Chains A and B, each alone.
Chain A
Amino acid sequence: MRRFLFLLALVGLAGCDWGHFHLMNSVPFHGDPAKNPVVAVYLGVDGLSHNTILDIQKRGAFTGEGWNLAKFHTMFPGTSDASWSRILHTDPIPGYEFEHYDPVRDQIENSGLLGYLCHAMPNLGSGLHFDPPYYNAFDYRSNGYTHTVGAYADTHSNYSESLDNLFTVLEGRAETQTEFTAYMLELDVMGHMKSRQEIADGMVRLWQRIQRFKERHPERKFVFTLFSDHGMDFIPVVRQGLVRFPEEMKKVGVEPVESLGGLDAKRGAYALTINHTRVTYLELHTDPRLTETVANLVSGIGPVDVALSRIAPPDGEPSGNGVQWFALWERNKASGTFAFDPANDRYYVSKDFPFRRFGITDPIPVREWISDEVAFQGTRHALYPDLFYRVRTALEPISVKYPAQVVVSLKGGFASVGKELPGGASDMAMSAFHGALDAPGTVGTLLTEERPLPDAVRSDNVLDLFPRLRKHLERRGVRLNPGDKNAPLNY
């Protein structure tokens, strides 16, 4: 009976909101264009890779006078909720994924199929949702209760519905607002489940809608900016490439565990891993004394490209004054190490760092302190872009409260199996991935008509580059966090 009443209450709430939705969208109103002659439109496009834009620019879209494009170096691991929170400086989420390890309670939260299905649960109101706080940054974020389910079940028609709603809402909001923010989910889904061509076609449609909208509304100038939360590798994975990481950990001597309390670090390596969505990274939580051991051991797992962790300062190298050391582990050894001095925002790269292995061709001095600026400039076009900053901040509580001790990046052609849905749904979402440390899944898009751009931008800096966006988020009541204090760059 209680359950029935609860369901009835939910249906009642839904019914009330439907009436409100129709009423608010049926009020005819107009503003004075002289009061807001220029409207800045910010579109957060999930999973829009830099390569996709290069593809469609060949078709004449998003190119020409006024459009500026930059590589948008997003955080590692490249996962949507954590990355949008980082980009928009909204309140941190507990872990990289909805399912996460809570060290305070020493347990995995939101696990199992139910936790996975929470992604599809619509926000029914305060206290009745699982939305991360960054959604509040967007004026438009969904076309109805079934938006998320629709995006996966029927991506193309849902995309059409979203475009219709987005531009309808924009047309109304532009009557009174000087800035407008919107979030678009479907192109990310197309990447995972469809093909590169379909994303490109979807982006061309967006371009055409933008052009048509501008032509229909000459009374105001609309200035568009698009940005994304990660790239997309477009490397399909076959079923054999789906990695069941706990099983792989056992093979290399790391015991997979469900909690960390009461375990003896002296009796062997163990780690807790989160296996939530189908991505190309994995996080490992362990006893701090085991961090280096675990990172070393898991780096020997075949599909692992690189594992990263903090390490103790090597003998004879700088230490003290808050200096932190990090290692990139490959095939059971620390192949590259570097230090960070937070007080002075500078990096120190060890002598034998394998620059060529990580696609860094610009010369970077070793065994001397270099500024974050120099580190960024030297790695911004590398195969592993903005490497030092992204490795360091992957392990820090910036947009996630509980970062892991070890984060593993997988090789192309491999992906964490994630939650397997019953009914043969295991072959879903096998076309393209993100999450890994290298460029294909990392380099998103920053595309704007608002201002000139450098050729590459760190995603954490977007609010500095677009003060109107920051102001709009503040006006929307979004609580903005400072983020990493050493993130800003002098573009």
Chain B
Amino acid sequence: MKILWKILPPLLLGVTVFAHAESDASLSAPFPIPAKRKAREYRADTTGLYPLWENTGHVESAGDVRISTTGVQMGMPGVHIGALPLPFFYRTPNAYLKGSLFSSNRAALALQVGFFHLLPSASRSAFSPMYPTRLDNSDFSLTVIPMHLAFSWTLSQWLEWHHTLGAVVNLPSGNITGDFTPGYLSGLELNPLGNHALVLHLGKVGFERHEFFLAGASYRFRNSWLEARFGYFYRFRAEGAQAGPLASLGFLL
């Protein structure tokens, strides 16, 4: 079973990329996109909704700016830089750089590397104590380095499949040992080119040493300048399930 989890996510990602390449080669032209849904009018999702583990293969175009709770980002040729804004209010400065490895009308592959620096007591800095956290870093800081290889494949006008093969590296701190934890998250986006979309999220974090399975669903509204998302996510660990809503709001400049 563990072997399966070691090979399945990269296999899935590889097969998808290969399948896309084959299908792209066999098509003389991409499927028609209705005029009012021009790519420029509705910019592609360049962030995942679920933090730390979810991403997409899209990168901001040069000069595009996205101010969203899932990422404040500035596009430059082939890359964008960004940061999650809300964690700054929770004693967690962070930043990331995302570069496009490949992009076509129907697919995009990108690599993102970033960091989160959890200052002492970041885990306790929520406004409300109603939601419990596994981590309590009241007397030590922790640096977390997430890396994502993300691929987004638009299979049809009504379906886009996002894959994120990720890993999180913890630098040793306090009682915490250094760790490397891989994970894979898949997002099936229904009606990706339209205003309204439904996204189904499924993933697993920790292959050899299981951390959690993730399952969730979210709704996304988008127009030429606004992006809003709302979803509900479950994490299934050996000790039980934790669940909660997630919301985001963004402006596309």
Contacts and interface: CB of A to CB of B under 8 A. Distances in A.
A393 to B, nearest CB: 29
B97 interface: no
Contacts of A171: 134, 237-239
Q: Chain A interface mostly helix, strand, loop or mixed?
A: helix
Interface string A137-176: 0011111110100000000000001011111111111011
Contacts of B122: 24
Contacts of B246: 18-19, 22
A143 B130 CA distance: 6
Contacts of B245: 18
Interface-centre pick from B133, B138, B168, B179 (highest chain A CB count, 10 A): B133
B52 A164 contact: no
B12 to A, nearest CB: 21
Interface in B233-247: 233, 235, 237-247
B51 A31 contact: no
Contacts of B212: 26
B129 A28 contact: no
Interface string B220-253: 0000000000000101011111111111110000
A161 B132 CA distance: 12
Given A27-B52, A29-B142, A176 B176 contact: yes
B244 A31 contact: no
A268 interface: no
Given A19-B246, A27-B52, A145 B176 contact: no
Nearest to A135: B129
B126 A17 contact: yes
B235 A18 contact: no
A28 B181 contact: yes
Interface-centre pick from A165, A175, A176 (highest chain B CB count, 10 A): A176
B171 to A, nearest CB: 11
Contacts of B134: 24-25, 168-169, 171-173
Contacts of A143: 131-132
B242 A165 contact: yes
Given A25-B134, A172-B134, A30 B179 contact: yes
Contact of B242 (A36, A164, A213, A475): A164
B216 to A, nearest CB: 9
A59 interface: no
Contacts of A166: 132
Contacts of A35: 175
Contacts of B128: 13-14, 17, 122-125, 129, 145
Given A27-B135, A170-B239, A32 B52 contact: no
A20 interface: yes
B175 A36 contact: yes
A384 B142 CA distance: 53
B174 A176 contact: yes
A343 interface: no
Interface string B130-160: 1111111110101010000000000000000
B130 A30 contact: no
B78 interface: no
A169 to B, nearest CB: 5
Interface in A1-41: 13-32, 35-36
A167 B170 CA distance: 23
A22 B50 contact: yes
Given A24-B123, A28-B170, A30-B177, A18 B242 contact: no
A58 interface: no
A139 B124 CA distance: 10
B130 A142 contact: yes
B123 A164 contact: no
A39 B120 CA distance: 22
Contact of B247 (A15, A32, A122, A175): A15
B52 A23 contact: yes
Nearest to B139: A475
Contacts of A165: 132, 240, 242
Given A139-B136, A168-B134, A172-B133, A26 B53 contact: yes
B112 interface: no
Given A23-B87, A32-B177, A140-B132, A17 B127 contact: yes
A140 B123 CA distance: 13
Contacts of A123: 128-130
B206 interface: yes
A272 to B, nearest CB: 34
A21 B130 CA distance: 10
A289 interface: no
A126 B126 CA distance: 10
Given A36-B175, A168-B237, A175-B175, A19 B69 contact: yes
A122 B133 CA distance: 17
Interface string B59-87: 00000000001000000000000000011
B128 to A, nearest CB: 5
Contacts of B118: 27
A175 B179 CA distance: 13
A267 interface: no
A177 interface: yes
The 5 A-B residue pairs with the shortest CB-CB distance, nearest first, are A172-B134, A164-B240, A125-B127, A28-B181, A21-B131
Interface of A: 13-32, 35-36, 122-126, 128-129, 135-136, 139-145, 147, 161, 163-173, 175-177, 213, 216, 475
Given A145-B128, A169-B132, 14 more contacts: A15-B249, A16-B69, A20-B133, A21-B244, A22-B246, A23-B52, A26-B52, A28-B168, A30-B176, A139-B136, A141-B132, A142-B130, A173-B135, A177-B136
Interface of B: 50-53, 69, 86-87, 89-90, 92, 116, 118, 122-123, 125-138, 140, 142, 144, 168, 170, 174-177, 179, 181, 205-206, 211-212, 233, 235, 237-249
21 contacts: A15-B247, A17-B127, A19-B51, A20-B133, A22-B51, A23-B51, A24-B122, A24-B123, A25-B133, A27-B135, A29-B142, A29-B179, A124-B127, A140-B132, A142-B129, A144-B244, A161-B241, A165-B132, A170-B239, A175-B176, A176-B176
